[in-house]
A and B are shown apart, each in its own frame.
Chain A
Amino acid sequence: MIELNPFVIFFAAIFTNNMILSNFLGMCSFIAVSKEIPTSLGLGQAVTFVLTFTTILNYLIYHHILVPLGLEYLRFIVFIVSIAAFVQLLEMIVERYFPNLYYALGIFLPLITVNCAILGVSLFMVIREYTFLQSLGFGIGSGIGWTLAIVAMAGIRQRLREDSIPKGLQGPGITLIITGLMALAFVGFSGIVQIQ
C-alpha cells in the first residue's frame, strides 16, 4: 500500500471521496435536516467534531486493545459503543461547561450516534489500514466534506421552496436529484487525488 500524506487524505476526503457524494454515508440526516442553512451548519459542526475525536478514539482502541488481544471481529460492537459513549459524554460536558454551545448543538448530538458517516469513517480507517496521522486527516476531512455538502444542499433547498415541483417528486425525490447533480459536479474533482 502506498503511503499517502495525511494532507492528501484530508483533501481527498473533502473533495474526491466525499462521505455523502461518493460513499453515500450519512444520507438519512442529510435528507432530513438539510432544510435551512443555520441548522445544517450546526449539525455539520457537531458531526465534524465527533468524527474527529471518535476516529482517534477508535484508532487507539483498535490498534492498542483489539489487535493485541486478537479480537478484531468485535470491532463493530466496540466502535458503536465507543461512539455512543463519546457522544453521551460530550453532551454532558458541553451542557455543563458550554451552555451556549449546548443550545446551538444540543439537539443534534443524539442524532449523531446513528449517523452512518461516523461508524463508516472508523470502518474505512480499519479496512484501508491507515496510520494514526492518516486517520486523523481522514476523520477531519470527512467531517468538513460532510458539512460542505449539507450546507450547500440547504442553500439550494431554500431557493427551491417557492418553485412548483411535480407532486411525486416533492421532498426526498427532488433532494436526491439535487444530490445527484452535486455528486456529478464533485466527480470533476476526481482527477486531483484518489484514495481507495
Chain B
Amino acid sequence: MANSKKIIKDGLWDDNPIFRQVIGICSALAVTNLMLNSLIMGLGLMFVTAFSELTVSLIRKFTPKHIRMMVQVLIISVYVIILDIFLKAYYPEMSKALGPYVGLIITNCIIMGRCEAFAQNNSPLPSFLDGLASGAGYTFVLLLVAFFRELLGFGTIFGYPVLGDSWTNWTIMIMPPGAFFILAIIIWVARSLSPEEKKEGGTI
C-alpha cells in the first residue's frame, strides 16, 4: 500500500491544496474566525470531495469527454445539497453561522481540481482516498488559521477561554484583514520549510 501512503502524504503536505496550490481559499478565509466553524467546514468539504471523487471515478468510463465538467459540477452539487440539508436538520445554528459558504463548496476549486486531475484517471478506491487526503489537508490549514485567529481575537480555543481575563482581544483578527495576514504567514512558513518549487506554474 505504498501508493495510498503517497496519496495521503501528497494531500496533507506535498501537494496541500491551500499553501502549495493556493486554491480554494475563498471559503478557507471566511469561516476561520472560530475553530468549531472551521472544523465543521473542513469535515463537510472532506465528505463532499471524497464522495464526488468516488462518483466521478465510478462513472468515468461512461461520461462523454466534452460534457464531463458539467457532470462533475452536478455530482458535486448533489453532495453539497446533502450536506446542507444534514447541517440544517441536525446543527441549525452551525448552518446559520456558515451561511452561504456551505453552498459555495460547489465552486471550491479544490474539488473540481481533484476530480479533473485525479478521479478522471484513477479507479474508485484511490480516488476516494485522494478526496479524503485533500480534504484533510484543507481542514488542517483551516484549523491552523482558525487557531491563531480565535486565540488572538477572542482568547479562546473551541470556545474555552485559555488566555484569561487580562487578555485584550485583538479585534483585527476577527475582521477580514486578520485572515489574510495569518494565511500569508502560514504560506510563508510552509514554503520556507520545504522550498522545492515544482508546482510553481499557473498560480503565480
Interface residues of A (CB under 8 A from B): 21-28, 31-32, 73-77, 80-81, 84, 114-116, 118-120, 123-124, 127, 166-174, 176-177, 179-181, 183-184, 187
Min C-beta distance of B98 to chain A, whole Å: 11
Q: Which of B50-58, B122-130, B158-166, B182-190 contacts A (4 or more CB under 8 A)?
A: B182-190
A26 near B99 (CB under 8 angstroms)? Answer: no
B26 near A73 (CB under 8 angstroms)? Answer: no
Min C-beta distance of B131 to chain A, whole Å: 18
Name the residue of chain B whose CB is nearest to the CB of A121.
B100
Contact A77 B204, CB 8 Å, known A31-B22, A119-B103: no
B22 near A114 (CB under 8 angstroms)? Answer: no
**Number of residue pairs spanning A and B whose beta carbons lie under 8 angstroms apart:** 131
Give chain A's interface secondary structure class: helix
Contact A180 B25, CB 8 Å, known A74-B81, A76-B80, A114-B109: no
A116 near B112 (CB under 8 angstroms)? Answer: no
Min C-beta distance of A88 to chain B, whole Å: 10
Q: How far is the CA of A116 from the CA of B100 in the complex (A)?
A: 11
Name the residue of chain A whose CB is nearest to the CB of B110.
A28
B180 near A167 (CB under 8 angstroms)? Answer: no
Name the residue of chain A whose CB is nearest to the CB of B21.
A172
B176 near A24 (CB under 8 angstroms)? Answer: yes
Q: Which of B39-47, B71-79, B134-142, B148-156 contacts A (4 or more CB under 8 A)?
A: B71-79
